[in-house]
A and B are shown apart, each in its own frame.
Chain A
Amino acid sequence: MNQLNVRGLAAVLVPAIFVPATLASALHAQAAPAAAQVKQAPPGGFTTPGMPARSAMPQQASDASGQTSGFSSVFNPAFAFVVDTLADYSDGDGEDGLELSLRSAELSAKSWIDPDAWAYFVAVAEEEGIGMEEAAIHYKGLGDTHTLRVGRFFLDFGKQMQAHVHDLRTVERPLPLRAYLGAELGGDGVQWDAWTPGGETGALRWSLGVFGAINTESEDLEDLGIERDLGGRKDLGDLAMTARLTSFMDVGEHSTLQLGASWLGIPSFEAEGGAVAAEELSQNVVGFDATFGMGADGEDKWTFGTEFLFASGDTTLALDGADNLAVDDKGLTGFYIFGDWAFEPNQSVGLQLANAELPTAGTPDASEIDIYYTRYFSEYHRLRFAVRQASFDEEDTFALLVQYTGFVGAHAHGVNG
């Protein structure tokens, strides 16, 4: 269902791809009489339904000899490279000043490996090092509308967790998602997803996932020196699970609505802080999301969205002295709401409000207000300005962010709807 979630297809962010030649070069190249330009359709009618008409295979020295070298590149995958840079001027959180950084450099590749399966990987270099964020195989042989995904990939939770950070509408993921799920939420496991039409103008999609390891980091807990171990060998009953159900439909001629519910259950994990550890902890996160888009193609487009999250179980961890890791099973809630206005095909502005009870001692309330402007110079590079006002523990932080991102090659992440 990636077509309903891929940024390139989102109501406000469909960039332009235009025609290459100028009138002059086109006319120069086509000096022959006009009628002669029309090639007749192949005799006998419909011979080659695919496109392009000519072979996509590079010409070999001898076509009949086939592949004769281990250096043949004809089956190489589609590669992509993303450079995401950030300038961050902050004032008021104790880390005042300007930071210029290469936030991430991402390399990805994907290719079909047989008629029913394709594989891909996404490797990312960040300040913390180089990591394999995703590497998975999608198997589509279960039926036309079913997909089985195996490997490491982003979990199917809500509308935003499947997107890599550089593909978000804003500079960072919304506060409650970062607090309860992490800046990025990957997992090693298996996921089945399927969809079915609901009438002529809507569809229903669902997914179920089972994971042996969850790859995520909580900035709130790390700030306290606490690390969670969400992987390792487990009993079957201790595997993490996800489920998502979402419905999307046309609303009138120019609007769409998507509603969704997501669940992540982690029945067993460990936490470690200082010299102490806590075992047999568990946690659940439930989310409900809604997204409404309106606007005819080629005209101004509005997108409004919200997501409400509820985290339960052993949500709150804190170091109580050097030899006690305090665990509290308090339920936490958070939400975010946003509105984006694409006033040009390549320009948009947006406002996002977020609030969450943080998973640290006392579950303090935090909130963020983001105002952002995005400009695509072409489909392949983007500049974004954002202003953030964050409030935490009665202290305000102001940040001015400038994000500049370049996309090279066949960039497109397979994400869920």
Chain B
Amino acid sequence: MRRLLMCAAAALLAALPTHAADKLKVVATIPDLASMAMAIGGETVEVVVLAKGSSNLHQVTARPSHLVAMHKADVFLQVGLSLETSFVPALLEGCGNARIQPGAKGFVNVSEGYAALGVPTEMSRKDGDVHPHGNPHLNLDPLAGEHMARRIHAGLVANLPAEAKRFDARLEAHLKRIAEARARWELAAKEWKGRRVAGYHSDYDYVVRAWGLADAGSIEEKPGITPTPGHLARMVQRYKEQRPVLVLVAPWSNNSTVARVAEQSGCAVCELPSRCDAEGKLFDWIHMMDELHARLAKGFGTHWPPAQPPPAASGGV
């Protein structure tokens, strides 16, 4: 009887969800990384997101709760490439947590190993607010899903090897979803090849590269620098000459300057999501990218979802 009771107690304990204290505490700079960490880590991870809104990531403000979350974290996920420069360096310096410092296994730089766009050949402020390692908007690259997922998976495994098999299985399932989504996006993008787009900032350069869109020049003359009247006049003229041009903007950059340029040049503006929504329906990275492609399709006047069924996923990317 006693043995039976002990077995029952053990079974009951095993059936209980993992206690929060045993979970891997993960801090992600943006919801995109948090959604992947939750997809791969499942109930084994407890994820805190720092930058929740849809604002320009270069203007996020560090808060006391961010400091506390960083202090307690086992794993820290950042996109890197200086995307989070406005708030991450000071948090890392001040949080007093050696487990997540660069070089420690709890520090996961998701862009590591990825070939970034726009790596400057010369480092000078005359080129505006330069990112020394290239365009940091990796979370908006339709082709980067697998890379980001694998980086996060590797970070979780390194910090909780006992759960490696569970992480492996969840990664495989997530990669399958990514592959299916990518097939969907590729199919839709077949109709877009060569279409002219412009941007206010360089948020969507990776989308432009991925689908072979044509660049008509950006409204910002230099990254991070307010465009001059002369540059705006040149852009209006250029867009007029190259019409139709679809002007791609993020929620933070859909401003009066863009509206004025679009009106004067006779071009349409297309607002795209710039990252996942921490609390809304676009929390999942694949859903967010689906929405991005749907809005692009609407902007170009093409089909979404794609007219033909996507080919079966091969499992690879």
User: Interface residues, chain A, CB within 8 Å of chain B?
Assistant: 1-4, 6, 8-11, 14-27, 29-30, 34-35, 37-42, 45-46, 48-53, 143-146, 195, 197, 199-203, 248-250, 256, 293, 296-299, 301, 345-346, 377-380
A30 and B117 within 8 A (CB): yes
Q: Given A17-B82, A30-B117, does the pair A23, B97 have CB atoms closer than 8 Å?
A: no
A23 and B58 within 8 A (CB): no
A200 and B56 within 8 A (CB): no
- Which of B86, B91, B158 contacts A14 (CB under 8 A)? B86
A203 and B61 within 8 A (CB): no
The yes or no answer to B27 lying at the interface (CB within 8 A) is no
Residues of A within 8 A of B54 (CB): 298
State A25–B155 Cα separation when bound (angstroms).
Answer: 33
State A25–B102 Cα separation when bound (angstroms).
Answer: 31
B215 and A16 within 8 A (CB): no
Q: How many of chain B's residues have a CB under 8 angstroms from any CB in A?
A: 90
User: Interface residues, chain B, CB within 8 Å of chain A?
Assistant: 51, 53-56, 58-65, 67-69, 71-72, 80, 82, 85-87, 90-91, 93-94, 96-98, 102-109, 111-115, 117-120, 125, 127-131, 133-137, 143-144, 146-147, 150-151, 154-155, 157-158, 197-199, 201-203, 205, 208-210, 212, 215-218, 220, 223-226, 252, 317
Q: Given A38-B143, A297-B53, does the pair A26, B64 have CB atoms closer than 8 Å?
A: no
State A145–B71 Cα separation when bound (angstroms).
Answer: 9
Residues of A within 8 A of B129 (CB): 16-20, 378-379
* Chain A residue at smallest Cβ distance from B68: A197
- Which of B55, B68, B112, B130 contacts A297 (CB under 8 A)? B55
Q: Given A3-B91, A378-B225, does the pair A50, B118 have CB atoms closer than 8 Å?
A: no
Give 29 CB contacts A-B under 8 Å. Answer: A4-B64, A11-B61, A15-B59, A16-B58, A17-B58, A17-B131, A18-B223, A19-B129, A19-B202, A21-B223, A23-B197, A23-B208, A23-B216, A26-B209, A27-B205, A27-B208, A27-B209, A39-B113, A49-B105, A200-B65, A203-B68, A248-B64, A297-B53, A297-B55, A298-B54, A298-B55, A298-B56, A345-B56, A377-B226
Q: Given A9-B62, A23-B217, does the pair A34, B210 have CB atoms closer than 8 Å?
A: yes
A-B residue pairs, 8 tightest by C-beta: A298-B55, A21-B118, A18-B224, A3-B90, A18-B223, A23-B215, A144-B96, A145-B96
Q: Given A19-B202, A38-B146, A45-B154, does the pair A6, B59 have CB atoms closer than 8 Å?
A: no
B128 and A20 within 8 A (CB): yes
B234 to chain A, nearest CB (A): 13
Residues of A within 8 A of B63 (CB): 250, 256
Q: Given A46-B158, A49-B104, A144-B97, does the pair A24, B215 have CB atoms closer than 8 Å?
A: yes
- Which of B108, B118, B128, B150 contacts A378 (CB under 8 A)? B128
Specify which of B56, B117, B150, B218 lies most central, judged by the most chain A CB atoms within 10 Å of its CB.
B117
State A30–B118 Cα separation when bound (angstroms).
Answer: 8
State A350–B136 Cα separation when bound (angstroms).
Answer: 33
Known: A21-B120, A23-B215, A297-B51. 5 other contacts (CB 8 A): A37-B143, A46-B108, A49-B105, A146-B96, A378-B128
A299 and B55 within 8 A (CB): yes
Residues of B within 8 A of A146 (CB): 96
Q: Given A51-B109, A298-B53, A379-B129, does the pair A25, B86 have CB atoms closer than 8 Å?
A: no
B57 to chain A, nearest CB (A): 9
State A248–B208 Cα separation when bound (angstroms).
Answer: 43
State A21–B123 Cα separation when bound (angstroms).
Answer: 12
A18 and B217 within 8 A (CB): no
Q: Given A23-B218, A144-B98, does the pair A17, B85 have CB atoms closer than 8 Å?
A: yes
A18 and B201 within 8 A (CB): yes
B273 to chain A, nearest CB (A): 14
State A20–B126 Cα separation when bound (angstroms).
Answer: 10
Residues of A within 8 A of B202 (CB): 18-19, 21-23, 26
Residues of A within 8 A of B150 (CB): 41
- Which of A20, A199, A200, A296 contacts B223 (CB under 8 A)? A20
A34 and B143 within 8 A (CB): yes
* Chain B residue at smallest Cβ distance from A48: B112
A224 to chain B, nearest CB (A): 42
B96 and A195 within 8 A (CB): yes
A4 and B67 within 8 A (CB): yes
State A10–B224 Cα separation when bound (angstroms).
Answer: 19
State A17–B144 Cα separation when bound (angstroms).
Answer: 22
Residues of A within 8 A of B91 (CB): 3
